[in-house]
Amino acid sequence: MNQTEKTDVIIAEGVTKIYDADGIPVNALNGVDLTIQAGEFTAIVGPSGSGKTTFLNIISGLDAPTEGKVSLAGKVISEMSGNELSDYRRDNIGFIFQAYNLIPVLTVEENVEYIMLLAGVPKAERHKRVIDILKVVGLEGVEDRLPTQLSGGQQQRVAIARAMVSEPTIILADEPTANLDSKTGTDLLEMMRRLNTDTGMTYVFSTHDPLVMERAKRLITLRDGLVESDETRE
Amino acid sequence: MMLTIAFRNIFRQKRRTILTALAMIVGFTLSSIVIGLSDGAYSNVIEMFTGNRIGHIQVHRAGYQDKPSIYKTISDYESIGKTIQNENGVEAWTPRIYTGGLGSVDERSTAVQIIGIDVARENKATHFNKKVIEGNTLSETASHEVVIGEKLAKTLAATIGSKIVLFSQAADGSIANDEYTIVGIADSGDDITNRVACYLHIDDVQELFVLEGRVHEIVVIVSNINKVERISNTITEKLDNTSLEILPWYQVVKSFYDAMQKDKQGDAVARFIIVFIVAIGVLNTVLMSVMERTREYGVLKAVGTKPIQVFWLVIYEVVIISIGSIVIGAMLGVFFNYLLSVYGVSYAEGFTLAGVEFGKMYAEVNVACLLIPATTVFVSAVIVSLFPAIKAARIMPARAMRIH
């Protein structure tokens, strides 16, 4: 895909976030301007408290900025209602969390199909896509297990499958390898990198992990709520 | 899918589910027993007042109810009785004459109430023969016999076979004075009646008081007390006689009925307290459940679940637990109410209400003792769950996942 043809998926303009910590204002982001383009495999890095997770939460609509504007695929998310945001996240964003965050009472298959169910995808189509994606993430044969019956690496694979199955515009991953051993982490990252190359799906990571940084095509460093550096690699 | 998640959450958090269900089951059962006992006690009182004493409907000459008088009589009572008997739902009717007088046995005298009854009809309508606890009931034809109340017998030191002289004024102004043989002693279940009642054959009383062919009251017994109002209205229409007053039992003993209704309001307070306790218990456990699962709700919202779907998830859980609790509570309620309807509960001390003696309270198994607790438990559980449900629906995903 030619770089000049890429479209802007996320545009963050002057994004500021100030938390109230027991009456003391804490500046998590201080006017961040960033654009993420389709097909990127981007890592946002920085020390603890630099604003990585906050930035991820704001560009996904999980949190609201104190100031500034975020557009995702051409729509300003701060102008959306609660229901519009839910629909928007469901249709456009796949999440991968550090703590996996699977729904504990649902089986692997049900967890993966949950978002498609919300979107009204027919049962047969859901089942086919679940089987296909579980094959891609190497989880054939565990469809009927509950999350508690899986290892950490398997649970994260389920989370990746859940994030990807509805073919969202972008996948946001917050410290996806933090709870995994290095081999499992490497395997999963290689898998995501391959999927990024094969499908052109956009990935944005928030991470400390050198394994992720090594594989990122773009590395954005945040410090004290500001973009310190923005490096694109070949 | 929300229903599936709700259902599985219930079994996932067994301890909390059991606590919530216990609050509902205990509340339901207590409420059911309170209603069963309360309705049973009222039914018992009403039955004592109506079935054995005043009947379900009474027919008098207009004005007799407010100001009884020997002269306010019904003259064509046989034809009125036949009209009443033909009415659908009427089980029996019986005529009565009431007058006062002086009763003397040997040297002892006291004021008495002379009640003239049609023995055969009275037996059918109010089981008069079963009230006779000593000696015999009256003959079905006039024989100058009398059955007197238990306490009146003690007052007059009368025994079976004693002669009682009744002394009064007849309807024509003459002196009514005659001697009768005591053939039986009765317990009417009514303390006041037991102290004064002299039951005579209606023909004897008509002869003594010069009231041939006339009575003061027609008592009507219906098969279903809940249809009294309709039957009373129909009888009024069919008799079409403005010189008569046709009154359902609750108008005959209006002050008693009003007191009973006020007492029922007191029961409503007891019921409200039980429901309030249940509601607090449910609110506590549901709120705890929502607080503990803030992260899960945050995740659900993060992946695209709408706020209203999260709201319904909490409500579904409460609804499922409520339905299960209501089923178990209903079985327990029926079981305990049935036991109490058979064995009853003894009052610490027996009491007399409006002259009727009560020693035990019996429960009643009816629709109300299931329907009212079911409605109150279900509605209160859903209402108190609204707050936790709204709280869950409004969770900010980022904050929910950050806090926990």
Say yes or no to pLDDT of B353 above 80: no
Residue B249 lies in a domain: no
Nearest to B304 among A57, A87, A105 (CB): A87
Mean pLDDT of chain B: 88
pLDDT digits (tens, 9 = 90+) for B171-181: 998 999 999 99
Residue B353 lies in a domain: yes
Strands A218-223 and A41-45: parallel
Residue B201 lies in a domain: yes
3 state DSSP class of B190: strand
Cβ partners under 8 Å of residue B166, min gap 6: B101, B102, B103, B112, B114, B146, B176, B177, B178, B179, B180, B198, B208
Residue B123 lies in a domain: yes
Q: Which of residues 61-100 of A touch B (CB under 8 A)?
A: 62-63, 82-83, 86-87, 89-91, 95, 97
Residue B251 lies in a domain: no
Look at A95 and B302 and tell me if their CB atoms are within 8 Å.
Answer: yes
SS (H, E, C) B71-104: CCCECCHHHHHHHHHCCCCEEEEEEEEEEEEEEE
Backbone angles phi, psi at B292, to 5 degrees: -70, -25
**How many angstroms away from the CA of A2 is the closest CA of chain B?**
31
pLDDT digits (tens, 9 = 90+) for B247-292: 999 898 888 888 888 877 777 787 788 778 877 877 887 788 778 8
Q: Report d(CA A212, CA A207) in Å as an integer.
A: 7
* Number of domain units in chain B: 2
Phi-psi region of B15 (alpha: psi -120 to 50; beta: other; left: phi over 0): alpha
Backbone angles phi, psi at B84, to 5 degrees: -65, -45
HSE, side-chain direction, 13 A CA sphere, residue A49: 4
Confidence of residue B148 (pLDDT cuts 50, 70, 90): very high
Mutate to test the interface with B, among A52, A101, A166 (most CBs of B within 10 A): A101
Cβ-count burial of B65 within 10 angstroms (0-12 exposed, 13-18 middle, 19+ buried)? middle
Q: Report d(CA B15, CA A51) in Å as an integer.
A: 40
Mean pLDDT of chain A: 88
SS (H, E, C) B122-168: HHHHHCHHHHEEEECCCCCCCCCEEEEEHHHHHHHCCCCCCEEEEEE
Confidence of residue A4 (pLDDT cuts 50, 70, 90): very low
Cβ-count burial of B170 within 10 angstroms (0-12 exposed, 13-18 middle, 19+ buried)? middle
Nearest to B5 among A89, A106, A119 (CB): A106
Say yes or no to pLDDT of B352 above 70: no
Report yes or no: B83 and B238 within 8 Å, Cβ to Cβ: yes
Look at A82 and B306 and tell me if their CB atoms are within 8 Å.
Answer: yes
Q: What range defines the domain where residue B34 resides?
A: 2-50+257-403
pLDDT digits (tens, 9 = 90+) for B31-46: 899 889 888 888 887 8
| B313 plus B215 within the same structural domain | no
Q: End of a domain among B241, B275, B300?
A: B241
A120, amino acid identity: G
**Do you know the residue count of chain A?**
234
- In chain B, the percentage of residues whose pLDDT exceeds 90 is 49
| B267 plus B381 within the same structural domain | yes
HSE, side-chain direction, 13 A CA sphere, residue B321: 32
Report yes or no: B284 and B18 within 8 Å, Cβ to Cβ: no
CA B394, distance to chain mean position in Å, is 49
Enter the tokens of residue A80: 């959306």
Look at B307 and A105 and tell me if their CB atoms are within 8 Å.
Answer: no
B356: β partners: B190, B353
**How many angstroms away from the CA of A5 is the closest CA of chain B?**
30
Enter the tokens of residue B113: 């109430």
Say yes or no to pLDDT of B69 above 50: yes
| B201 plus B127 within the same structural domain | yes
Residue B386 lies in a domain: yes
Residue B159: Cβ within 10 Å count: 12
Look at A105 and B8 and tell me if their CB atoms are within 8 Å.
Answer: yes
* Residue A82 with chain B: CB contacts under 8 Å: 306-307
Q: Report d(CA A143, CA A130) in Å as an integer.
A: 9
Cβ-count burial of B398 within 10 angstroms (0-12 exposed, 13-18 middle, 19+ buried)? buried
Domains in chain A: boundaries: 3-232
Report yes or no: A44 and A55 within 8 Å, Cβ to Cβ: yes
HSE, side-chain direction, 13 A CA sphere, residue B105: 20
**How many angstroms away from the CA of B333 is the closest CA of chain A?**
34
Identify the CATH assignment for A3-232 out of 1.10.10.10, 3.90.1150.10, 3.40.50.300, 2.40.10.170. 3.40.50.300
Mutate to test the interface with B, among A17, A26, A86 (most CBs of B within 10 A): A86
For residues B137-153, give the mean pLDDT: 94
| B290 plus B322 within the same structural domain | yes
| B287 plus B396 within the same structural domain | yes
Cβ partners under 8 Å of residue A26, min gap 6: A18, A19, A20
Residue B378 lies in a domain: yes
Say yes or no to pLDDT of A3 above 80: no
